[in-house]
Structure 1
């Protein structure tokens, strides 16, 4: 018998729903026609899962807004409340939304969305069904990042801008810059890097808090040893745009960027040469492919050393190992090696 949800598109946000096994269970229960994955670290978890999905770099609201078929959002928030808040944020950008929140076992039908679909999913999963309206009120130039846990990192467009000190972080855009109003212990260098990339429209910016993934990455087979070296400078969320079959390794600049690149590339078997200066925010469980090396700058900032390397080193190489060896010679006396997985 055909499932009543066999014609739907399931859009999955975040790695947690894959890591917890939710996506596999929901595929078995709902038999969706397609499963689309939104987000960078979700893509890593999806690839590791081996499930039949299609990955996209777009945020959930963009993916859902481009779908003409019946669709639902699947999410596992770090807490049931943060999961609900995330659903409300997505729903505020759409005419209606069916949101399956696995952290609480709830199907939310936001803003008079497809109630028939919501009822079908609730029946098949045994989840509670809640019809709810999102709060669309927004102050001009102000953004609230809700559902934070004090002590965790807060991101805007992939950059860590500080540490949450309250459940709600309030940011304001004014006079051509961005500032923290409340709930945040700011990281000035993080704001600097964000603004260097361009002042974001804070109402539309991608904001989140907490680790990007909690589980360790799986190890994959070693990638090709010669080819292009991709440069990722303080924007690990752009990594998938840069890595392809011609890649031999990644030059990652920044503590968190190095950690994210190492985690993602571990599954693909791509080694990373990371340049850090010791200000990591522990946003992801570490993991690196064989051949990876991480160096810490002894004096100055990783930004300057990373930009210098990208400018002076040849980013095409016949041998990743030789490229790493020569790069270490260039940096002799200015860095110390904190991780060395060569010989793997």
Structure 2
């Protein structure tokens, strides 16, 4: 047990899916465990471990803490895990980072030496001291640790495919411009700009799948209530699926996949509107009652916004709302996922 109890901040679903979080809780007995990240929250809720979920990124969570704290992460590769820790450390004044993919405890920028040593001793991980690189050209952002061929996100929207280990982005003339390392997806960049030009320093940037394992199925949520609308911003889902939500209208291929995955465990059905440009960022999964339709002619953006604007988003029952929505879209869409009439799963 750590002599002076510390707070453990867990980033990403991988640390839960691989069993790292449970093992580290048993070894280190942290004072509390905070979870950062949308898919991390999903994995955490599935794990039933005693944790508290947040909507903030790890650097924000860590900066707000008083007392001892450390970051736990499992990168898709040891190098990408190290790069992630360096990115977080660059926003803080010292960091202890437990990287499970390489079994390493990093002490970044003069982070708590005693805490780092204790964790390394209790886990058997190697202790490594590093300094983060903080200098960056104004108005630019590097997304490092990419694997060529994988999707690159900014604020939850896929803007292209990595062609190198580092993608460089810049804001110029009111637009976001790929500088290098990216095969851009024009429709994704259009969606991003429509949502508002992001502050690159504060934007959530990542590459690769958002989770690699399928979701666990939960029991069915309320049959009637509010229909939440998620339009190309699946990372905001948890803010919307509060009590009283009976289903989600998801607009966009990747958004539908993310909403279906998260809502599967919550037991909330999804009505997804897609146009076939998915980037395979997450294992699919949908709660009973879910339907996904593909636009026959046009784009999911336009049809999704039309549905959100013309359909009553307060549903007496979800099933009736879906049936009426399908009637209004007859001849304009094809059903590609249909989980109507399926029995609810047992938790």
TM-score by length of structure 1 reads 0.99
Return the alpha-carbon distance in structure 1 between the equivalents of residues 2 and 253 of structure 2: 47
Structure-1 residue corresponding to 2:54: 56
Post-superposition offset of 1:204: 2.4
Q: Is the 8 A contact 1:6 1:30 kept in 2?
A: no
Q: Secondary structure at the match of 1:143?
A: strand
Return the alpha-carbon distance in structure 2 between the equivalents of residues 100 and 73 of structure 1: 6
Structure-2 residue corresponding to 1:332: 330
1:279 paired residue among 277, 280, 285: 277
Give the total of aligned pairs.
Answer: 342
Runs of 4 or more consecutive aligned structure 1 residues displaced over 6 Å after TM superposition: none
Return the alpha-carbon distance in structure 2 between the equivalents of residues 248 and 5 of structure 1: 46
Structure-1 residue corresponding to 2:70: 72
Structure-2 residue corresponding to 1:45: 43
Deviations 1:196-236 (A, max 9, x none): 11111112211100000000000000111111100000000
Q: Is the 8 A contact 1:37 1:54 kept in 2?
A: yes
1:15 paired residue among 13, 16, 24: 13
Structure-1 residue corresponding to 2:255: 257
Q: Is the 8 A contact 2:120 2:127 kept in 1?
A: yes
The answer for unaligned runs of 5 or more in structure 2 is 343-347
Query: How much is the aligned-residue C-alpha RMSD, in angstroms?
Result: 0.7
Post-superposition offset of 1:6: 5.5
Deviations 1:122-160 (A, max 9, x none): 000000000110011111111111100011000011111
Post-superposition offset of 1:30: 0.2
The answer for unaligned runs of 5 or more in structure 1 is none
Structure-2 residue corresponding to 1:226: 224
Q: Secondary structure at the match of 2:230?
A: strand
2:315 paired residue among 314, 317, 321: 317
Q: Secondary structure at the match of 1:62?
A: helix
Return the alpha-carbon distance in structure 1 between the equivalents of residues 201 and 336 of structure 2: 39
Return the alpha-carbon distance in structure 2 between the equivalents of residues 9 and 261 of structure 1: 30
Q: Is the 8 A contact 1:229 1:317 kept in 2?
A: yes
1:29 paired residue among 27, 30, 55: 27
Q: Is the 8 A contact 1:168 1:183 kept in 2?
A: yes
Q: Secondary structure at the match of 1:281?
A: coil
TM-score by length of structure 2 reads 0.98
Q: Is the 8 A contact 2:2 2:30 kept in 1?
A: no
